[in-house]
Amino acid sequence: NAGVTQTPKFRVLKTGQSMTLLCAQDMNHEYMYWYRQDPGMGLRLIHYSVGEGTTAKGEVPDGYNVSRLKKQNFLLGLESAAPSQTSVYFCASSQPQFVSGGLTDTQYFGPGTRLTVL
Amino acid sequence: KQEVTQIPAALSVPEGENLVLNCSFTDSAIYNLQWFRQDPGKGLTSLLLIQSSQREQTSGRLNASLDKSSGRSTLYIAASQPGDSATYLCAVHYTGANSKLTFGKGITLSVRP
């Protein structure tokens, strides 16, 4: 049981180049998320998905696109990378459940992808 | 605006000390509050989740409390060890349509041998 995995772990791009980050989870979770983490800014949600074939915008979606063609995979694309997209990107998944007492939706995170855009 | 605040940003304590990490949030309408640990260069690991109707959760040497009326949560670490050194993040799941986790910026803890 690998949990949440991300590829690649590191990447350096030149301005204007494109790339796709892959996230995979083996916990059969419905929800998946892409975050970016920047010094002094904390974690910010880019896009998320509540199920196969669905995606939605988060707090900072501009410059990114996503796809959830299979339940276990969530792809994050940068069509034309900019230096402002230099960051550490984290993928997470969860399976929200309403139980007695309320909502439980523990998020499980991948190890991250460190992206530098020159 | 719904926010989560963690102060101070960094904390250094000697080994063996009991310590409290604070988290404050701006709206009492929440589903739950979660505490995460992040080691340098790694992803986040969930430590504890407290549902809206609960007052506290415990796991080993960790105890997290929740006071919705005052907008506060504390993470208590008993008998701290150098291995507890990490960044601890608090995240709140506010209620409302399409709401998602709102994270604090974290507290970087250093436990000195």
| Residue B87: predicted pLDDT | 97
How many residue contacts between A and B have a Cβ separation below 8 Å?
Answer: 61
Would you call B51 and A33 a contact, using CB atoms and an 8 Å cutoff?
Answer: no
CA gap A111, A92 in Å, rounded: 10
Of A88-97, B13-22, B96-105, the poorest mean pLDDT is in B96-105
Burial class of residue A2 in the structure, from the number of CB atoms within 10 Å of its CB (0-12 exposed, 13-18 middle, 19+ buried): exposed
For tokens 């080691």, what's the residue? B39
User: Mean pLDDT, to the nearest integer, of B76-80?
Assistant: 97
Would you call A103 and B51 a contact, using CB atoms and an 8 Å cutoff?
Answer: yes
Condensed to tens digits (0 to 9), the pLDDT of residues A10-23 reads 999 999 999 999 99
Q: What is the CA radius of gyration of chain B?
A: 14
CA gap B107, A96 in Å, rounded: 26
| Residue B49: predicted pLDDT | 94
Would you call B44 and A90 a contact, using CB atoms and an 8 Å cutoff?
Answer: yes
Identify which of A48, A56, A106 has the shortest CB distance to residue B46: A106
Residues of B in contact with A45 (CB under 8 A): 100-101
Condensed to tens digits (0 to 9), the pLDDT of residues B8-25 reads 999 999 999 999 999 999
For residues A101 and B32, the answer to whether their CB atoms sit within 8 Å is no
CA gap B34, B1 in Å, rounded: 19
Give Cα separations from B34 to A108, B30, B88 (angstroms): 12, 11, 10
Give me A80's structure tokens. 């034309």
Which of A20, A8, A3 minimizes the C-alpha distance to A69?
A20
For tokens 């410059």, what's the residue? A63
Identify which of B34, B36, B43 has the shortest CB distance to residue A111: B43
